[in-house]
Amino acid sequence: MQPLVTVIIPTYNRGDLLRAALTSVMAQTFRQFTVLVVDDGSSEDLRPVIGSFGQAVHHLRVEHGGAARARNAGIEAAESDLVAFLDSDDLWLPEHLARTVPILQQQPRVGLVYHDMVTIDEVGRPVPSRRSRPCPSGRVTADLFAYDFIPTPSVVCRRDLLRQAGCFDPVMVPSEDYDLWLKISLLCQFAGLPEPLMQRRQHGGNISRQHKARNEVVRAILKERFWRDPAGRAGMGKDLARNVLAKAFYRAGRLLLKGGWPGSARRFLRRSRQYRPLYARALFWQTVAACAGRAEAPGDPSDAFLRLADYRLE
């Protein structure tokens, strides 16, 4: 019997963490699945870890290109109608598949199921959440445009929808998953479960200013690109979209200024106020940016991303 679900786990090295992730998959109470570990060109030999779980776990090795490309390779290799995603450093609780798969079997209009999560630290202790995570169902485009509430390792989705939406766009890293969920939201209904059926591992270490700024730049451009698409624009109200876009460009502009890139900061803050002219925070930081010197720190993340995405801020 062909499994109903293909579990796709991209990994780059991380043998010990991968073992824990696979153990959580094998503990599922729902058993009609197969597992595909997409080895993203690891320097570590992962075959002993993967092989220790028997024939239910398959190894696909690809050239190193990042998690987005690895997940896409897994989607193409999958033979089941349903695909579930798990990152190699995260864990499923035993009822994850048992609670999500039947919804897709019983409700043909639902194309994607997701749920809440618990964050744990490096030794497995729960980390208190700063805010509650919404779990809306139905047509969620407007809600999702305002706030990314879908943890990728909680998602079970129809494979044909993933392919119809173009799979994960490697240019949009680290928000390639958010980009894809937005596109899929135009194609079907979602089902959100408020139950925390997965654990996301929180890693130590500080994220550099450059990475923080790039993350917000990607989010701002991703949202604007989606809003410019007529299909995306039809999925939400104009006032909501302009408010969300103003905040997205403000966050990117503020971090660019703090990172030492005042020229790019001025462009992003100017774009923020184009969407919301009286936005006080954007106006304040735009004034600060206007008074900043012309010296630019090396490695402007916005310039690099805009070139990669072939996108212009007009």
Query: In this predicted structure, what is the pLDDT of residue 210?
Result: 74
Torsion, Cα 154 16 30 34, to 10 degrees, reads 90
Q: What is the C-alpha separation between 198 and 95, in angstroms, rounded?
A: 9
Q: What is the mean pLDDT of residues 4-12?
A: 97
pLDDT in tens, 36-95: 999 999 999 999 999 999 988 999 999 999 999 999 999 999 999 999 999 999 999 999
Please state which of the four CATH numbers 3.40.50.300, 3.90.550.10, 3.20.20.140, 3.40.50.2300 is assigned to the domain occupying 5-201.
Answer: 3.90.550.10
pLDDT cut 90: percent of the chain above it: 85
Query: In this predicted structure, what is the pLDDT of residue 207?
Result: 53
Q: Does pLDDT of 104 surpass 70? A: yes
Query: In this predicted structure, what is the pLDDT of residue 206?
Result: 47
Q: What is the mean pLDDT of residues 296-313?
A: 92
Query: In this predicted structure, what is the pLDDT of residue 1?
Result: 67
Torsion, Cα 219 232 152 36, to 10 degrees, reads -120
Query: In this predicted structure, what is the pLDDT of residue 239?
Result: 95
The full set of domain ranges for the chain reads 5-201, 209-309
Query: In this predicted structure, what is the pLDDT of residue 126?
Result: 83
Q: What is the C-alpha separation between 274 and 268, in angstroms, rounded?
A: 10
pLDDT in tens, 137-194: 999 999 999 999 999 999 999 999 999 999 999 999 999 999 999 999 999 999 999 9
Residue pair 241/233 in contact (Cβ under 8 Å)? The answer is yes
Question: Which residues have CB under 8 Å from 106's CB, separation 6+?
Answer: none
Phi/psi of residue 290, nearest 5 degrees: -65, -30
Give the residue with greater pLDDT, 203 vs 60.
60
Write the DSSP symbol of residue 122: T
